[in-house]
Amino acid sequence: MIPGPIEFTPEVMRAMGMPTTSHVAPNFINIFGEAIELLRQVFLSPTGQPFIMAGSGTLAMDMAAANLIEEGDGVLVVNTGYFSDRFARIAERYGARVAEVRASVVGDVPSVAEVEAALKSGSFKLMTLTHVDTSTAVSVDVKKLAKIARAYGVLTAVDGVCSVGGEELRQDEWEVDIALTASQKAIGVPPGLALLVAGPRAIDAFKRRKSPVRNFYADWNEWLPIMKAYEERKPSYFGTPAVNLVWALNVSLKQILEEGMEKRVERHRVISRAFKEAMTSLDLKQVPLSNEKSATTLSGVYYPDGTDSSLLKLIGEAGVIVAGGLHPQIKDRYFRVGHMGGVNNSDILATIGAIETALSRSGCKFEKGKGLQAAAMILE
Ligand code: PMP
């Protein structure tokens, strides 16, 4: 129950273990082409251009920045934690003038008005949002913020590494120009794929560049023809794709779409609500300042007074693996629980049960079963 890599379905794991074909074998070309088409459906971006690359989520961020940013371009980073910091650093690496709007306390998000004021006061080409910051478990209102950016003629890139396939994200409808993720979270495929969908305005901005892309591997000049060729079911090559991972992606995207995006998003909402209610009923404080600012793919929970990270080991001994803190300001004061992908009611109840056992073993006074009961009231 960590926020990635998550647990993968047997069908996905079987695809990982298949004999590896050539990247230009006709059956693989078809699997790759289909995965590109399915990705558009998962990102809800019928007009988008998907990129499926060997690499991790950071490569997808790098690719977005490398292809859009030229020396001196203004980039506004809406900063909600560790991974927003990363986007700022990547943008700087490509010569951007980076400005940040940052919440004053960990667990908060900048207000829509603050972001708008920043957009108004500067000249920006790109705004970056971290849909769900995995270090704080807070989520930002992508729909509202992207709309405002569009009104100011600014492109929006959404780091959806901890959201796509779990949180609601409607790329085209919400006017998001780039959405990106990695395979190992709510997409449900072992680590190793960077996934990005670029909308028409992002591709346009890329085509209007005056200077060369300063990253060889991530250059869309190389990859656009490759993605187009696979979609047309034609052989092509720039860098060898991660054949088995693409095969696994094809399987997982079909499983996601079989469930249906709306149902999947709702399942994540309910499970998240059940977990968060359970934590509240056990008097455990969470990192996000309010439910509206909370992710549905993971939760960040402060250790109760008198306990510390030794609780993690006890939760593990009770049979569930959760993650430690990540945000540098509060790193040793909280733990994180991922509840995304194929997670089900039994998983979340087992997790709450393990947390209760750990609390009890570390001497915390609470009414046993209270968390489980609170969750059970929500999980039908
Ligand atoms: N952004 C977010 C929100 C993430 O959670 C992560 C990974 N935890 C990344 C970016 C980086 O992804 P990767 O580790 O796959 O490079």
CB 47 within 8 A of CB 201: no
What is the CA(326)–ligand 1 centre distance, in A? 12
Mean pLDDT of 280-300: 96
The pLDDT score that the predictor gives to residue 264 is: 98
Instruction: Inform me whether the pLDDT recorded for 380 exceeds 80.
Output: no
CA of 331 to the centre of ligand 1 (A): 17
Residue-level pLDDT at 4? 96
Cα–ligand 1 centroid distance for 79 (angstroms): 15
In our burial notation (b when 16+ CB lie closer than 10 A, e otherwise), range 8-34 reads: bbeebeebbeeeeeebbeeebbebbbb
In terms of Cα–Cα distance, which of 190, 184, 248, 239 is closest to 20? 248
**Mean pLDDT to the nearest integer, 143-165:** 98
pLDDT at 325: 97
pLDDT over 80 (residue 243): yes
Centroid of ligand 1 to alpha carbon of 310 (angstroms) = 25
Cα–Cα distance measured from residue 26 to residue 40, given in angstroms and rounded to the nearest whole number = 22
CA-nearest residue, atom 5 of ligand 1: 134
Nearest to 36 by CA among 224, 175, 265: 224
**Residue in 371, 365, 220 with CA at minimum distance from that of residue 306:** 365
Tell which CATH architecture fits domain 261-379. Alpha-Beta Complex (3.90)
For the cut 90, the answer to whether the pLDDT of residue 238 exceeds it is yes
**pLDDT at residue 129 in the model:** 98
> What number does the ligand 1 atom closest to the CA of 58 have?
16
**What are 181's strand-pairing partners?**
195
pLDDT score of 332: 96
pLDDT given for residue 210 in this prediction: 97
User: Using one digit for the tens of pLDDT, what is the confidence trace for 13-49?
Assistant: 999 999 999 999 999 999 999 999 999 999 999 999 9
Q: Per-residue pLDDT for 212 more than 90? A: yes
Average pLDDT, the chain: 97
Cβ 191 vs Cβ 115: under 8 Å: no
318-330: per-residue pLDDT in tens?
Answer: 999 999 999 999 9
pLDDT, average across residues 236-240: 97
Average pLDDT of the residues in 134-159: 97
Amino acid identity for residue 327 in this structure: H
Q: Does 261-379 match 10-259 at the fold level?
A: no
Q: With 0-12 CB in 10 A as exposed, 13-18 as middle and 19+ as buried, what is 219?
A: middle
* Residue 163 CA, closest ligand 1 atom number: 3
* C-alpha of residue 241 to centroid of ligand 1, in Å: 20
Cα of 4 to ligand 1 centre, how many Å? Answer: 9
Residue bearing tokens 């074998």: 25
Report the atom number in ligand 1 closest to the C-alpha of 134: 5
Among the listed residues 319, 327, 318, 270, the one whose alpha carbon sits nearest the alpha carbon of residue 300: 327
pLDDT at 358: 98
Determine the distance separating the centroid of ligand 1 and the alpha carbon of 82, expressed in angstroms. Answer: 10
- Report domain 10-259's class: alpha beta
Q: Which residues line ligand 1 (CB under 6 A)?
A: 4, 56-58, 83, 130, 133-134, 159, 161-162, 182
pTM for the whole structure: 0.97
> What number is the average pLDDT over the span 290-308?
95
pLDDT in tens, 346-373: 999 999 999 999 999 999 999 999 999 9
Which atom belonging to ligand 1 lies closest to the Cα atom of 61? 10
Domain boundaries of the chain, sorted by first residue: 10-259, 261-379
Ligand 1: atom nearest CA of 191 is 15
Rounded to an integer, the average pLDDT of 156-178 is 98
Ligand 1 mutation pick, 59, 89, 162, 195, max ligand atoms within 8 A of CB: 162
pLDDT of residue 104: 87
